[in-house]
Structure 1
Amino acid sequence: MTSASPNDQNLRKDAALNKERLLVAGRELFAQHGLGVTLNDVARHAGVGVGTAYRRFANKEELIDAILERQNEELERILHAALAEENPWDGLVLYLERSLIMQAQDRGMAQIFSGRHGRTEKYDEGRDRLAPLVNRVAQRAREAEVIRPDITGTDLIFLQIAITSISTVTQDGPRIDGRDDVEELYRRYLWIALDGLRTDNKTSTLPVPALTTLQTHTLLQPKRPDPAV
């Protein structure tokens, strides 16, 4: 068998490098803007030609699938770290905190996590891979009697979907004078939810102050149309 020529090796390295650039650029743009970004947008952000992008990924869905695989690997590591915690409560908190940080910082991931992703088979692969670990996190906490006996892994998933929506609202909303922690507001509601799960009747010190009524109305007010449009 003949070995690859130096030119062939360089071409393979260039192809691998361009693919990595597209993956990084895609994740950055999806994180900022959601899944509506086009493959052409990703190519420009990556600094590669559109033709190069389509040689590495036939369409945007293939790129999303590749990014989803990396996200699943990260979530899997978080779940294994949670299951390695000696205290099941600490493991449950670790899982929710770290996974929500990922989703709060990544709009595209939050959309995928809530099921808004076109390729059902890829979503199902991730579910089958991660759901047993999430269920085990909840099961350990139930068996240790540190959470309510009726809490399941699916409850943890829906809590994340609900709390991530708060993060989306705060990212999309206007700046609130006097508050530089609004995008961290989701953490307040995570800990309110955690207190609702636990069985020891303890109440946590909430990490972010509540918004005032006026601040909340400012955040949730409809966006005014751009007069320049």
Structure 2
Amino acid sequence: MTAADPEASGLRKDAERNRRRIIQAARELCVTRGLEATLNEVAHHANLGVGTVYRRFPTKEALFEAIFLDGIDQLVTLAEAALEAEDSWEGFAWFVWSMCELTATDRGLREIAFSKAYCGGRVDLGRTQLEPRISKLVERAKRDGYLRPEVSSTDMPLCGLMTGAVSEYSGDVSADLWRRYVSILLEGMRCRPAQERLAVDALTQVELHTAMDQWSPASNG
């Protein structure tokens, strides 16, 4: 078959469809189970043969990298959409709500986005895409007087982790409880007259990266 052969093109399209099905199935499983799902379980969930999954992703780590890049793409898209908002506070608050909804309801994304236990270098690559956009959202809202001056872009991953912890703790009792704490977080970040400075400074980028290096989700134990 030549590169222009319709059959070859069809095989490539089938392979890409299967790849997307595998990633989607893995993300669906990881929403509730985190990164404990096996490749065999992913194959079953995707209604594909185990061999098909292993040809595309020979190890769980390879699949995690694909999930991570898929998740980072989501977050980057959210940040870019937030930057399009004319009102910098509305854009910032919408991003925080959207990010926290993802991290509160998708355990796998939370574990893979905020830790370097999986995907190592891919996390660094993702940070270079996401961090400048989040920094712009934060600085724009501070410039316009909406955000208190101590708020940092490095606070955003911690906000995602906190809402995720709320979901893990109380999800079976109140699935939407995380929304209460996003509201509290946003109220605490707003700039108001005569505010006292926050008691502790935000992490620097270096400190945040060190924390990500050291934190290991429970499902990695």
| Fold shared, TM-score > 0.5 on shorter chain | yes
Listed one character per residue, the Cα deviations across residues 181-206 of structure 1 (whole Å, up to 9, x for unaligned) are: x11101101111111111237xxxxx
* Cα distance in 2 for residues equivalent to 1:154 and 1:197: 13
* Cα distance in 2 for residues equivalent to 1:144 and 1:7: 57
Is structure 2 residue 170 aligned with structure 1 residue 149?
no
Q: CA deviation at 1:87?
A: 1.4
* Cα distance in 1 for residues equivalent to 2:77 and 2:32: 24
Q: Name the structure, 1 or 2, with higher relative contact order (CA <8 Å, separation 6+).
A: 2
Alignment partner, residue 134 of structure 1: 134
SS of residue in 2 equivalent to 1:75: helix
How many residue pairs end up in the alignment?
193
SS of residue in 2 equivalent to 1:111: helix
Is structure 2 residue 213 aligned with structure 1 residue 196?
no
Contact 2:3 2:9 in 1 (8 A): no
Structure 1 runs of 4+ with >4 Å offset: 1-4
Contact 1:113 1:161 in 2 (8 A): no
SS of residue in 2 equivalent to 1:183: coil
Identity %: 36
Contact 2:148 2:192 in 1 (8 A): no
- Which runs of 5 or more structure 2 residues have no equivalent in the other structure? 194-221
Alignment partner, residue 21 of structure 1: 21
**What TM-score do the two structures reach when normalised by structure 2?**
0.81
Q: 1:185 aligns with which of 161, 165, 177?
A: 177
- Which runs of 5 or more structure 1 residues have no equivalent in the other structure? 177-181, 202-229
Is structure 2 residue 11 aligned with structure 1 residue 11?
yes
Q: CA deviation at 1:112?
A: 1.5
Alignment partner, residue 91 of structure 1: 91
